[in-house]
Amino acid sequence: MEISKMGNLKAPGPLYEMAQNQFLKAARLMELDPNIGNFLLWPQKTLVVHFPVVMDDGRVEIFEGYRVQHNTARGPAKGGIRYHPDTNLDEVSSLAFWMTWKCAVVNLPYGGGKGGIRVDPSKLSEKELEKLSRRFFSEIQTIVGPTKDIPAPDVNTNAKIMAWYMDTYSMNVGQTTLGVVTGKPLDLGGSEGRPEATGRGVSITASEACNVKGIDISKARVAIQGFGNVGSYSAKILSEEYGAKIVAISDISGGIYNEDGFDIDELIEYRDQNGGVIKGYPKGKPITNEELLTLDVDILVPAALENAITEKIAKDVKAKIIVEGANGPTTEEAEKILIEKDILVVPDILANAGGVTVSYFEWVQDLQSYFWDIEDIRKELTKIMKRSFTQVFATKQKYNTDMRTAAYIVAIERVASAVKKRGYFPM
């Protein structure tokens, strides 16, 4: 018997197949028990909901939403909810799958979950957005809860929406339940350090990667694709705390390049006053997103959406280190090329795990009704990210493999151990 994707089950789409292939590469290398491997290939629970929202003009519009729980052997499911017109079951299932390994690789007592609604939130009024959010959370409430599944912000969702979720759940169950979601406002049980957490985790792992590659990070040149929450905080922390020079940045409007580096605070201020985009910033030369990905830099941080680095682009990538701020930014074919070029790829399930780690801190604080100082949060996050990088790099050397496969091996060992010890119930 061997671990196999074949049989009666079918992946929801090509992105999930790519995620499964990443898993299989590690599972076969570590000689995982096929029974456990076949179980871990698939989501445990998938909920698809269609729900009505009364729009401002009186029309009733029907929306489609998803919540997927991949595995809960180590604890409740954990993962964000995104609002995007292209969100689909393949994407959400894949992200839930990756969340299982992301939580396990940094040794959090969680499993993987993810959710989303097919919607363009920019076309909704504030009132419509609130109605959509509250109705959706009521629809998925059968499978969420502080001991079952704890959602969080993701693409186009934020602390305000998490507050609506928390209030909706609390009103439905008849008591205030802060721990049902994370990423909330501070005065509603949110945590210090949460907005910066993913970017800080990216910065910490970038520093660790420089150490093993023999690069002085204070002299490193960095290009960052994406200037939202993850990209902007990565740029700010790498620049201010590690001394790196951020020479290129891009967002949906295009990219900019400055050989001498950018003043990140000034650029963030420009973005916020310029409709949320960096286009037109006078202190940078315009470049395309593809040009940014192939610049001669030490560190490249893809912090936008999936499949940014393709096979075609990978052939021209010159960075020595890639730190994946986004989920799934590198295709399978591209990664093979990057590995052949001896580029160290710090995979998403490790590099951007800072967000879920501080979400875990928030959940713990909510359950205990005791809240930590920002210094304590940063200290604990740094300890966890450094320890996790060290464990993954040691596994990479042990198995003579790449960082992504090594991260999967570390994570799979932990989840498989939980599955084996718990057993299969009912028999």
Which of the residues 25, 45, 102, 114 is marked catalytic?
114
**427 Cβ contact list (under 8 Å, min separation 6):** none
Q: Determine the Cα–Cα distance for residues 371 and 321; give it in Å rounded to an integer.
A: 36
Closest CA to 218 of 245, 258, 257: 245
Alpha-carbon dihedral sign for residues 107, 110, 111, 114: negative
Side-chain half-sphere exposure of 98, counting CA atoms within 13 A: 29
Catalytic residue list contains 114: yes
Q: What would the two tokens of residue 309 be?
A: 């680095």
How far is residue 241's CA from residue 377's CA, in Å, rounded to a whole number? 16
Q: Count how many residues are written for the chain.
A: 427
d(CA 347, CA 248): 21
Buried/exposed code over 247-283 (b: 16+ C-beta within 10 A; e: otherwise):
bbbbbebbbbbbeeebebeebbebbeeeeeebbebee
Q: Give the residue numbers marked as catalytic.
A: 114
